[in-house]
């Protein structure tokens, strides 16, 4: 019996299967994003399809409008939830990408902004009553085959990179007008381009993209516990086929990567070479650790336990040191690890794995060997390379680590908490040295956004200064506090985990058997078995 005839004969069962499939195919929850423009006072905050770009000094609000469709007014920058938001290293453009499978590059220059008022408020003036607005035009646009999960730029900002949920890292050339010219792209003539393929991870979600300070290497992380360091060719559009090394050691998905470089001191006038005096690579993971790597050799230099397992929560979380004997590196070829790596999140196969006929509920997929603990969501490194800010999922504070370049060690320096910012999600250092954080109520349909700012004091410790940096109007433009969500947070209860989609699902035996019966290959096996049984009965 065909599928259509079966649906007509069993409408209730068909409707139940459709509802269950819709729940499985539901999109990922919206995430909170934060980006700070280099050499400027412009900050961008996003959640879902909402994007706010404001100059917190002048109070000027920038709008990003996508090219209008035929006969339609201007619309939002993206039709789906935003997943990528970052400025280029020179600050000339803003890269955005989302679930609508498109990446857009916005010209973020004062010369191209069409200000609605003749004069904007001067820096330092009261901008609470200001209404200056400007528009950033779309300079480039690319169409991606899958939803985006991460993004980045090459060191010189000439190429934009964006990764998708299937393991591909795509690249496009940044075509911008010369600084100071009046040339602007025509929105009606802007076409979605096809990006080039730079490199790929084997059918897994790429979670982070970061270029090294020297511009030669590119670090990418994924949900299969590994960090890959690739060599960027002179012509990136031709693809990167040389792998420098793999950084293996995390026991769960790698959520973020960032490079750290020591401050350049003009007294000596000499630049030391890597790895003794050069940059290092930092990575955060779902195993609750932050690890430091030599990105040239792949050797682990240090590790810090930012989130201890629930059973060991009473122990100290200051895990600075070499960390080499912490645990065995994953990916060393354990039995059953390599099977099932190519499954995309939300796949229909059950835990027994494709092509397996056993019903013992054992899934031959890569599993985390670390005990359950809160995930590291975000990393940020200060401009001088001495401080690393770490955000742990479900915590109301940001951990500030001290990076010792001589000993190559990470030690806890401070735990910073904002009185009006709950559950930070992303952290970043601004060009003025301020520490910015964005957070909000952890809900699968969240719309609220909390923004906090902190400054470094004479002793080296940070203190919150949100009210001193952001005026009332600017804060109202950046933040969104939904009363219903704030009330749910005040009531308490179990927190929603945004990193849930990065973890392998775990099922008990009964649920595993139920999911296996719903698999198409299992149904086909049952059909063939019934057919052979009827043939045997006729042959008797």
How far apart CA 34 and CA 28 sit, in angstroms, is: 18
Residue 501 within any structural domain of the chain: yes
Residue 296 within any structural domain of the chain: yes
Tokens of 58: 């002048």
Residues 110 and 151 in one domain: yes
Kindly report the backbone phi and psi dihedral angles of residue 501, in degrees, each rounded to the nearest multiple of 5, phi listed first. Answer: -70, -10
What residues form DSSP beta bridges with 391?
Answer: 378, 398
What confidence tens digit (pLDDT) does each residue in 373-403 have? 899 999 999 999 999 999 999 999 999 999 9
For the sheet with 82-87, list strands across it.
82-87, 93-98, 102-107, 138-143
Place of tokens 């003749």: 118
Residue 352 within any structural domain of the chain: no
Mean pLDDT over residues 156-182, rounded? Answer: 85
What confidence tens digit (pLDDT) does each residue in 229-275 have? 999 999 999 999 999 999 999 999 999 999 999 986 554 444 443 44
Mean pLDDT over residues 173-181, rounded? Answer: 73
Measured in residues, the chain has a length of 540
- Residue 76: which pLDDT band, with cuts at 50, 70 and 90? low
pLDDT mean across residues, the chain: 80
pLDDT of residue 276: 42
| Residues spanned by the domain of 176 | 31-263+275-329+361-510
- Residue 514: which pLDDT band, with cuts at 50, 70 and 90? confident
Residues 482 and 532 in one domain: no
Tokens of 475: 């804060």
- Find the range with the poorest average confidence among 4-18, 137-151, 356-370: 356-370
Q: Domain tally for the chain?
A: 2
Task: With CA atoms as reference, report the closest residue to 32 among 498, 500, 502.
Answer: 498
Residue predicted with more confidence, 412 or 326: 412
Residues 436 and 518 in one domain: no
The sign of the dihedral angle between the CA atoms of 136, 138, 139, 141 is: positive
pLDDT at residue 78 tops 70 = yes
pLDDT of residue 465: 97
Mean pLDDT over residues 422-440, rounded? Answer: 96
Residues 439 and 390 in one domain: yes
Residues 170 and 288 in one domain: yes
Residue predicted with more confidence, 10 or 335: 10
pLDDT at residue 358 tops 80 = no
In 6-143, the DSSP E strands lie at: 32-36, 42-47, 50-55, 61-64, 82-87, 93-98, 102-107, 133-136, 138-143
pLDDT at residue 444 tops 70 = yes
DSSP run (H or E) holding 529:
helix 520-539
Residues 147 and 208 in one domain: yes
pLDDT of residue 509: 85
How far apart CA 412 and CA 313 sit, in angstroms, is: 16
Q: Residue 116 contacts by C-beta under 8 Å, 6 or more apart in sequence?
A: 131, 132, 133, 134
- Residue 9: which pLDDT band, with cuts at 50, 70 and 90? confident
Residues 486 and 536 in one domain: no
In 175-279, the DSSP E strands lie at: 196-200, 206-211, 217-222, 226-231, 243-248, 254-260
Place of tokens 């070499």: 322
Residue 5 within any structural domain of the chain: no
Residue predicted with more confidence, 216 or 178: 216
Residues 492 and 526 in one domain: no
Residues 455 and 313 in one domain: yes
Task: With CA atoms as reference, report the closest residue to 354 among 367, 365, 368.
Answer: 365
Exposed/middle/buried for residue 175 (C-beta within 10 Å: 0-12, 13-18, 19+): exposed
**CA atoms within 13 Å, Cβ hemisphere of 457:** 8
pLDDT at residue 359 tops 80 = no
What confidence tens digit (pLDDT) does each residue in 458-507 have? 999 999 999 999 999 999 999 999 988 888 888 776 678 878 888 877 77
Exposed/middle/buried for residue 518 (C-beta within 10 Å: 0-12, 13-18, 19+): middle
How far apart CA 355 and CA 62 sit, in angstroms, is: 53
- Residue 185: which pLDDT band, with cuts at 50, 70 and 90? low
Residues 240 and 95 in one domain: yes
The answer to whether residues 89 and 157 touch, using CB atoms and an 8 Å cutoff, is yes
- Specify which of 127-131, 368-372, 462-466 reaches the highest per-range mean pLDDT: 462-466
Mean pLDDT over residues 393-417, rounded? Answer: 95
Residue 432: CATH number of its domain: 2.130.10.10
What does the angle CA 361 – CA 363 – CA 367 come to, to the nearest 5 degrees?
130
pLDDT of residue 210: 97
Residue 360 CA, chain-centre distance (Å), reads 35
Residue 10 within any structural domain of the chain: no
The answer to whether residues 262 and 292 touch, using CB atoms and an 8 Å cutoff, is no
Residue 351 within any structural domain of the chain: no
pLDDT of residue 20: 62
- Find the range with the poorest average confidence among 37-51, 219-233, 338-352, 361-375: 338-352
365 DSSP 8-state letter:
S
What confidence tens digit (pLDDT) does each residue in 212-230 have? 999 999 999 999 999 999 9
Residues 297 and 439 in one domain: yes
Neighbours of 92 (CB within 10 A): 21
Residue 19 within any structural domain of the chain: no
Residue predicted with more confidence, 528 or 95: 95
Q: Residue 128 contacts by C-beta under 8 Å, 6 or more apart in sequence?
A: 59, 471, 472, 473
Residue 385 within any structural domain of the chain: yes
Asked if the peptide bond before residue 275 counts as cis, ω within 30 degrees of 0, the response is: yes
Residues 301 and 419 in one domain: yes
């Amino acid at each position: 019996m065909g599928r259509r005839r079966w649906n007509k004969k069993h409408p209730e069962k068909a409707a139940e299967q459709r509802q269950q499939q819709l729940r499985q195919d539901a999109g990922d929850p919206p995430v909170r994003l934060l980006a700070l423009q280099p050499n400027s006072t412009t900050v961008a905050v996003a959640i879902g399809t909402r994007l706010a770009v404001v100059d917190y000094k002048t109070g000027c609000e920038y709008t990003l409008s996508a090219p209008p469709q035929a006969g339609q007014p201007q619309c939002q920058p993206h039709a789906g939830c935003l997943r990528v938001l970052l400025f280029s290293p020179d600050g000339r453009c803003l890269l955005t990408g989302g679930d609508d499978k498109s990446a857009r590059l916005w010209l973020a220059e004062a010369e191209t902004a069409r200000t609605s008022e003749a004069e904007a408020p001067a820096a330092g003036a009261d901008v609470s009553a200001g209404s200056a607005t400007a528009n950033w035009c779309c300079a480039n646009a690319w169409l991606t085959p899958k939803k985006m999960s991460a993004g980045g730029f090459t060191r010189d900002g000439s190429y934009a990179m964006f990764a998708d949920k299937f393991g591909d890292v795509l690249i496009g050339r940044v075509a911008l007008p010369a600084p100071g010219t009046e040339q602007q792209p025509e929105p009606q003539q802007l076409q979605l381009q096809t990006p080039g393929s730079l490199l790929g991870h084997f059918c897994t979600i790429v979670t982070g993209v970061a270029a090294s300070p020297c511009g030669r290497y590119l670090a990418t992380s994924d949900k299969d516990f590994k960090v890959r360091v690739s060599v960027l060719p002179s012509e990136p559009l031709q693809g990167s086929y040389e792998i420098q090394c793999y950084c293996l050691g995390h026991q769960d998905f790698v959520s973020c990567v960032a490079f750290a470089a020591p401050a350049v001191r003009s007294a000596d006038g000499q630049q030391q070479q890597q790895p003794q005096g050069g940059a290092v690579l930092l990575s955060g993971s779902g195993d609750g650790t932050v690890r430091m790597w030599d990105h040239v050799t792949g050797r682990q230099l240090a590790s810090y336990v930012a989130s201890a397992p629930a059973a060991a929560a009473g122990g100290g979380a200051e895990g600075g040191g070499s960390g080499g004997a912490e645990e065995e590196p994953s990916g060393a070829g354990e039995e059953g690890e390599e099977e099932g790596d190519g499954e995309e999140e939300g796949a229909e196969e059950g835990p027994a794995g494709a092509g397996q006929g056993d019903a013992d509920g054992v899934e031959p997929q890569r599993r985390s060997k670390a005990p359950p603990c809160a995930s590291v969501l975000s990393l940020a490194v200060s401009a001088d390379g001495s401080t690393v800010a770490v955000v742990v999922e479900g915590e109301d504070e940001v951990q500030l680590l001290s990076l010792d370049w001589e000993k190559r060690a990470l030690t806890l320096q401070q735990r910073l908490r904002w009185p009006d910012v709950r559950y930070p999600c992303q952290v970043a250092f601004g060009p003025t040295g301020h520490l910015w954080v964005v957070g909000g109520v952890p809900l699968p349909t969240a719309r609220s956004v909390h923004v906090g700012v902190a400054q470094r004091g004479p002793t080296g410790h940070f203190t919150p200064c949100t009210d001193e940096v952001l005026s009332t109007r600017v804060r109202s433009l950046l933040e969104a506090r939904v009363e219903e969500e704030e009330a749910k947070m005040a009531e308490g209860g179990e927190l929603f985990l945004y990193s849930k989609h990065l973890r392998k699902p775990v099922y008990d035996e009964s649920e595993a058997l139920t999911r296996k019966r719903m698999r198409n290959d299992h149904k086909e096996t049952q059909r063939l078995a019934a057919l052979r049984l009827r043939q045997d009965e006729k042959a008797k």
